[in-house]
Amino acid sequence: MENITIKELENVVVRFSGDSGDGMQLTGTLFSNISAILGNEISTFPDYPSEIRAPQGTLGGVSGFQVHLGSGKIYTPGDDADVLVVMNPAALKVNVNGVKKNGVIIFDEDAFQKSGYEKAGFLTENPFEELAISNTIQLIPVQLTTLTQKSLEGYDLDNKSIVRSKNMFALGLVCWLFNRPIDDAVHFLSNKFRKKPDILQANVKVLTDGYNYGHNLHLTVSTYQIEKSEETEKGVYTSISGNTATAYGLIAAAEKAGLQLFLGSYPITPASDIMHELSLRRDLGIKVVQAEDEIAGITTALGASFAGSLAATNTSGPGLALKSEAIGLAVMAELPLVIIDVQRSGPSTGMPTKTEQTDLLQALYGRNGESPVAVIAPGTPDDCFHYTYMASKIALEHMTPVIVLTDAFLGNGTSLWKLPKLAELPEINPNYVKDGMQGCKVTARDEKTKVRYWAIPGTAGFEHRNGGLEKDYYKGSISTDPVNHQLMVDTRAAKIKNISEFIPELSVYGSLDADLLVVGWGGTRGHLMSAVNQIIKDGKKVALAHFNYINPLPKNTSEVFKKYKKILVCELNSGQFATYLRSQVPGVDITQYNKVQGQPFTVSELVEKFETILNLD
């Protein structure tokens, strides 16, 4: 066995795993928040089972939370864990192949009994031998259940409530292992359980005892020391999930534009947190309507847009399909609307808690008629704030629906976010009708951008009707004239294309003379960046072009692509962005690397793919 010491590492990956009721999400969130407060860069990945509640102790019910923390820039939640904490045999079986060869597995010894082995599908009563776990992995048995029960002896709690607190014992132990104080966890628990003092006292007691228990292990277990990040620019930071960042982006945009924010929504995994977050901010005048279905959700939002609000709706893939007719109505009515799609594995119900990028073509083309909309895709959880803000700006200034494509990985995951100052955010200037225009038709446009002016009901001199029927370009009245219809189709398309004049050009990370250009979009950014950095570190020339603006594409996209002989598009679908790029940037040879498993890319598989292509010469 290696010498027991303090391991000083630049970064480390910790994974908590157990049954859905074992509190792994809370445990992981608390540990992540503590690390962020201490100045570490973090990236997290909550992994929920798709079943509402699978039988306890079975593989289908395993829930996990992985956090990657470090003293340098962290782009992903990491591939394999340095430390795995498991609450039962099923969690061990599901996660054992994701532990580093010199890693540590902490397990609840009380749960490793015959009944647990049978539920997890083990054939013997020695799961560690059956799984052929390497002897380089250190196994640390801890009687989490028994120790929790002893910790709470004399407390007026039933045994079920006592046992549910064992995740706090595990958290305390892991905090000791990583030399993190538990004060911030106690503060969080005090807020969470402030109306339940008995539960609060019990959790704090178990957390403290778990931390103190670590000292009993100090002769057999190495601890870890990760210094705070020196690369993070000065500012106020917090750990934020993609869904929360999305909600904040909408709030900031409404404040900046001086408009009321309205969300018309219907609950759907994994997007509901956006609605929940906004519903908490009635103090800001935000209106949230939980409608009876997806169609009602978006049409209430469209009505709010017509009435002069910053209007939004949120959903996932199945809901986006149901909203398609109303999105077409927003295109025809030329009203600003922000549609958030937190993508999940499909089709149909699919795997509701798992991540994919399979809604891209639906977002681009999934409506009847020629129905162009702007499409934007954030790259990291904290990115969701900026790009939702920009989606709102584009919607309001260009009078169009904008679809924001996040995904379950981004929505549920967290990263470090620097709180922006509202004054420093880009101005938002809706294209309102102006004084002196009363003699013009309400359909009057800015001839350069093709954007029609926004006449909010009640604006004197601009009484008008709007709807889904085609309109005369000049008069605004209903028209079925063929030539006029062609003109209107071309106008709506030109309006979206013109947005490329207002968005940043495509930037390239890495060598301008690289042998390979890696291309990605949306939530794959962190994994692609990490893999590209690893290849560059190995002395090879590779570059990364990552897209956040999908429709329209940055205007220099073709210029960038033509500089590289090899272009590899990596995405979590069967090649939708690659197909789209071939149609938009003809004459460029594009190859693709795809994964549709309900899981993000791993850095190791990307590195292997890049090296294979680079070694073909």
345 in the same domain as 218: no
Side-chain half-sphere exposure of 240, counting CA atoms within 13 A: 24
* In-domain check, residue 146: yes
Residue partners of 197: CB distance under 8 A and separation at least 6: none
Residue 1: what pLDDT?
Answer: 41
Q: Answer yes or no: is pLDDT of 603 > 80.
A: yes
Q: Which two tokens stand for residue 93?
A: 């079986």
Number of folded domains in the chain?
3
Residue 527 has pLDDT above 80, yes or no: yes
Q: Is residue 468 part of a domain?
A: no
Angle at 33 between CA 30 and CA 35, to 5 degrees: 110
Higher-confidence residue of 331 and 2: namely 331
Asked, for residue 476, whether it belongs to a domain, the answer is: no
**Where residue 220 falls among pLDDT bands split at 50, 70, 90?**
confident
Which parts of 489-574 are beta strand (E)? 509-510, 516-521, 542-547, 549-551, 567-571
In the predicted structure, residue 153 carries a pLDDT above the cut 60: yes
Which residues, at least 6 apart from 507, have a Cβ–Cβ distance to it below 8 Å?
545
Higher-scoring residue by pLDDT: 486, 21: 486
Domain boundary among 198, 225, 252: 225
CA distance 413 to 130: 33
Length of the chain: 617
Q: Is residue 332 one of the residues assigned to a domain?
A: yes
1 within a domain of the structure (yes/no): no
- What pLDDT was estimated at residue 62? 95
Q: Which residues of 424-450 are buried (b: 16+ CB within 10 A; e: fewer)?
A: ebeebebbebeeebeeebbbbbeeebb
Asked if residue 592 has pLDDT above 80, the reply is yes
Residues 210, 98 share a domain:
yes
For the chain, give the percent of residues with pLDDT over 70: 98
> Which pLDDT does position 617 carry in this prediction?
65
189-193, 421-425, 496-500, 516-520: range with lowest mean pLDDT: 189-193
Are 63 and 112 found together in one domain?
Answer: yes
456 occurs within a structural domain: no
Determine the residue type at 585.
V
The C-alpha atoms of residue 435 and residue 433 are separated, in whole angstroms, by: 7
CATH number for the domain spanning 610: value is 3.40.50.920
Could you tell me if residue 491 is inside a domain? no
Q: What is the pLDDT of residue 444?
A: 85
Given this model, what pLDDT does residue 7 score?
Answer: 86
Q: Is 504 a member of any domain?
A: no
**pLDDT of res. 331:** 99
CA end-to-end distance (rounded Å), the chain: 44
Token reading at 387: 């790009």
For residues 174 and 247, state if they share a domain: no
Same domain, 281 and 201: no
Same domain flag for 284 and 173? no
Identify the CATH number of the domain in which residue 69 sits.
Answer: 3.40.920.10
Q: Is the pLDDT of residue 49 over 90?
A: no
**End residue of a domain, out of 392, 424, 456:** 424
φ/ψ of residue 597, rounded to 5:
-125, 5
Q: Can the peptide bond before residue 347 be classed as cis, meaning omega within 30 degrees of 0?
A: yes
Report the mean per-residue pLDDT for the chain: 95
DSSP 8-state symbol, 470: -
Over residues 250-302, the pLDDT tens digits come to: 999 999 999 999 999 999 999 999 999 999 999 999 999 999 999 999 999 99
pLDDT tens per residue, range 410-423: 999 999 999 999 99
Strands (E), 26-142: 41-47, 62-70, 81-86, 99-108, 138-142
Predicted local confidence at residue 228, as pLDDT? 85
Confidence of residue 614 (pLDDT cuts 50, 70, 90): very high
Residue 309's CATH number = 3.40.50.970
Give the closest residue to 45 by CA, choosing from 568, 391, 527, 545.
527
Locate 559 and state its tokens. 């210029």
Pair 79, 104 in one domain? yes
In this predicted structure, the answer to whether residue 229 has a pLDDT above a threshold of 90 is no
**Residue range of the domain that includes 580:** 509-614
User: Would you state the structure tokens that stand for residue 479, as one six-digit string?
Assistant: 């028209």
Distances (CA, A) of 421 to 18, 278, 301, 397, 425: 40, 20, 28, 21, 7
Domain termination residue (choose one: 204, 225, 246): 225
